[in-house]
Amino acid sequence: MVRERSEPTWLPALLVAVVTGYAALARPAEARLTDLSVYLGAVTALTDGTGLYDFIRGAAPFTYPPFAGLLFVPLTPLPVLAVQAAWTLATVVAVVLIARIAAGVHPAALVALALMLSAPVASNLRYGQVSLFLAVLVLADVMRRPGATQGVLIGVAAAVKLTPLIFIPMLWCGGRRRAAVTAIATFLSCAAAAWVMLPAESWRFWTTEVRNVDRLGYITSLGNQSLNAALLRWGADDATRSALVLLLGGLIVLLSLHRAAKLSRAGNWLAATVVVGAASVVFSPVSWTHHQVWLVLAAFLPIHRACRWAVLAVMLLPVTALGPPLWSDARLLLATAIATLLPIGTEAARDARPVGAGLGGGRFPGRGPDLVGAVVWRWVRPGRASLPAQGRPDGAGSRPEHCGAGERQWGTFAAKSMGGRRGGREPEGREPGGAGTGSAAGTTECGQGGSARGSSRVGGGSGRCAGGRSGPRTSWCAGRRGRLGPCRFRL
């Protein structure tokens, strides 16, 4: 009898969230969630007749498109402290959602703990930023089942802040061209709606403020890890800096899109999104610490263990404070490496966890933070394209094998949640597995409608493909506590 490995508890992540959130809310009123105060102050000034982009709190003006300002209007009548407390709680919920989406074979509680300890999440909590909410929109849109509305959330995120626009060509290059068109249409619709309601502010933003990088704060500070900021710190003149940002930064974006296309066509949309997100950190004129959550998620892709620890060290420790010439731009170098160089396993699809796995109910019982995902579960349920491709790059013939030894089968749950079968035959009765840890047996879809029969043990074994197709396959199984993990079979 094999002892099941217990899941990590959510308690450490919860404790870090409580401490970090309390530290943010306990600051003096004038220093508490300062970016959120800018959003609310600018919108209040707008309703009082002052221009949205005329408001400045300290040295921080409102820098987002007018559509973002419209979203903050309902918050202005509420007590400021109540809004700040609710914003902090919503930020913690966003961390949980990101952890659940990006967990893959890693425990979601462990991913959430790493996120809560990271500099980007701490910065979001301290300043009351929107970056984590935009990351949730992008991840939920990319990892959900394809459909007529895929791309809407990315379009909305880009209308709030322009940086997520980079994910639209990722959709196109990955073969989701309808979703890319939908994202563009949504972005333009939101911008048009803002133009109708705020014509003067829209004209000012799109003709003047969108090019005014100097309004974005102290862009030479170490918190800004973009290529543009590094060149400013290195003393490059304006002409040289602009040329290098366009040429070198543009090349990094193109390389990241090429990598993302390969990863997405192999079924790993999570890795594709992280790679392109890292390129956005490099190419954006300003990439503050709270923008850099994509770099933390790279640690949970199928990469070498040494690379994983290096990513976590750079993103959890205050390495930029160690100073030039290397450490002050360590996160820029990390973003460049993730976008262009970081080796990501060829069997990466098994680490891409479909949205909704383990979120509140179904055959994966929700416990604690799992229930948070129930509110988005129905809309972002896993579908065909979000399931990992097993053995074939187009995802066809990708039904997981039956898993024994007290483990449940993810494929069965996904097929039932979609209201139908994924093709092939349902798993037949189990046969005794070979010696080893756990057993798996039954009939499984294998290539051209064929089936694979035989028995094997988890992590090894052999079988025969009745349809004439054979090769290594990786299936998705869930343990008694709902954790997804790869069960490898050699067929």
Q: 272 and 192, same structural domain? A: no
For residue 364, being part of any structural domain is answered with no
Band (pLDDT 50/70/90 cuts) for residue 82 is: very high
Q: 152 and 63, same structural domain? A: yes
What integer is the mean pLDDT of 19-25?
95
Query: Cα(160)–Cα(154) distance, rounded to whole angstroms?
Result: 10
For residue 360, being part of any structural domain is answered with no
Residue 326 has a pLDDT of 75
Average pLDDT, the chain: 76
What integer is the mean pLDDT of 421-449?
39
CA dihedral 227, 228, 229, 230 (to 10 degrees): 50
Q: How far is CA 82 from CA 32, 126, 355, 374, in A?
A: 12, 16, 31, 25
What integer is the mean pLDDT of 427-440?
40
Q: 299 and 150, same structural domain? A: no
Residues β-bridged to residue 465: 452
What integer is the mean pLDDT of 390-414?
37
pLDDT tens-digit readout, 459-490: 444 343 433 444 433 333 434 334 444 433 33
For residue 373, being part of any structural domain is answered with no
pLDDT at 191 over 80: yes
Residues β-bridged to residue 60: 57
What integer is the mean pLDDT of 283-297?
95
This prediction has a pTM of 0.72
* Identity of the residue numbered 434: G
Q: 185 and 102, same structural domain? A: yes
For residue 270, being part of any structural domain is answered with yes
* Identity of the residue numbered 3: R
Instruction: Please state the three-class secondary structure of the chain as a single string.
Output: CCCCCCCCCCHHHHHHHHHHHHHHHCCCHHHCCHHHHHHHHHHHHHHCCCCCCCCEECCEECCCCHHHHHHHHHHCCCCHHHHHHHHHHHHHHHHHHHHHHHCCCCCHHHHHHHHHHCHHHHHHHHHCCCHHHHHHHHHHHHHCCCCCCCCHHHHHHHHHCCHHHHHHHHHHHCCCHHHHHHHHHHHHHHHHHHHHHCHHHHHHHHHCHHHCHHHHCCCCCCCCCCHHHHHHHCCCCHHHHHHHHHHHHHHHHHHHHHHHHHHHHCCCHHHHHHHHHHHHHHHCCCCCHHHCHHHHHHHHCCCCHHHHHHHHHHHHCCHHHHCCCCHHHHHHHHHHHHHHCCCCCCCHHHHCCCCCCCCCCCCCCCCHHHHHHHHHHCCCCCCCCCCCCCCCCCCCCCCCCCCCCCCEEHHHHHHHHCCCCCCCCCCCCCCCCCCCCCCEECCEEECCCEEEECEECCCCCCCEECCCCCCEEEEEEECCCCCEEEEEEEC
For residue 370, being part of any structural domain is answered with no
Band (pLDDT 50/70/90 cuts) for residue 368 is: very low
| Domains held by the chain: number | 3
Residue 57 has a pLDDT of 84
Residue 25 has a pLDDT of 95
Residue among 199, 208, 250, 204 nearest 227 (CA): 250
With contact defined as beta carbons under 8 Å apart, do 331 and 292 qualify?
Answer: yes
Q: Which of 50-59, 100-109, 254-263 has the lowest mean pLDDT?
A: 50-59
Band (pLDDT 50/70/90 cuts) for residue 5 is: low
Of 179, 211, 243, the residue that ends a domain is 211
Q: Which of 115-129, 317-331, 398-412 has the lowest mean pLDDT?
A: 398-412
Residue 59 has a pLDDT of 75
Residue among 473, 470, 360 nearest 411 (CA): 473
Q: 123 and 257, same structural domain? A: no
What length is written for the chain? 491
Q: Which of 84-93, 102-111, 265-274, 409-418 has the lowest mean pLDDT?
A: 409-418
For residue 22, being part of any structural domain is answered with yes
pLDDT tens-digit readout, 114-159: 999 999 999 999 999 999 999 999 999 999 888 889 999 999 999 9
What integer is the mean pLDDT of 7-15?
90
Of 180, 211, 242, the residue that ends a domain is 211
Who has greater pLDDT, 318 or 480? 318
pLDDT tens-digit readout, 247-273: 999 999 999 999 999 999 999 999 999
Q: 102 and 41, same structural domain? A: yes
Band (pLDDT 50/70/90 cuts) for residue 4 is: low
Residue with token string 């209201």: 419
Q: 431 and 332, same structural domain? A: no
Band (pLDDT 50/70/90 cuts) for residue 346 is: low
Q: 116 and 46, same structural domain? A: yes
Residue 3 has a pLDDT of 52
pLDDT at 215 over 50: yes
What integer is the mean pLDDT of 435-452?
39
Residue 190 has a pLDDT of 97
Residue 213 has a pLDDT of 75
For residue 195, being part of any structural domain is answered with yes
| Contact residues for 80 (Cβ-Cβ < 8 A; gap 6+) | 37, 40
- CB-CB neighbours of 5 under 10 Å: 11
Q: 253 and 195, same structural domain? A: no
Could you report how far apart the first and last alpha carbons of the chain are, in Å?
A: 25
Query: Cα(391)–Cα(19) distance, rounded to whole angstroms?
Result: 45
pLDDT tens-digit readout, 370-390: 333 343 434 444 333 333 433
pLDDT at 76 over 70: yes
Q: 282 and 174, same structural domain? A: no
Structural domain containing residue 55: 1-211
Handedness of CA 391, 397, 400, 401 (dihedral sign): negative
State percent of the chain over pLDDT 90. 56
In degrees rounded to 5, what are phi and psi of residue 471? 150, 170
Q: 179 and 74, same structural domain? A: yes
Rounded to the nearest 10 degrees, the angle between the axes of helix 108-117 and helix 305-316 is 40
For residue 361, being part of any structural domain is answered with no
What integer is the mean pLDDT of 198-221?
86
Q: 273 and 203, same structural domain? A: no
Of 211, 243, 273, the residue that ends a domain is 211
Structure tokens of 252? 């990094």
Who has greater pLDDT, 198 or 484? 198
Q: Is the peptide bond before 325 cis (omega within 30 degrees of 0)?
A: yes
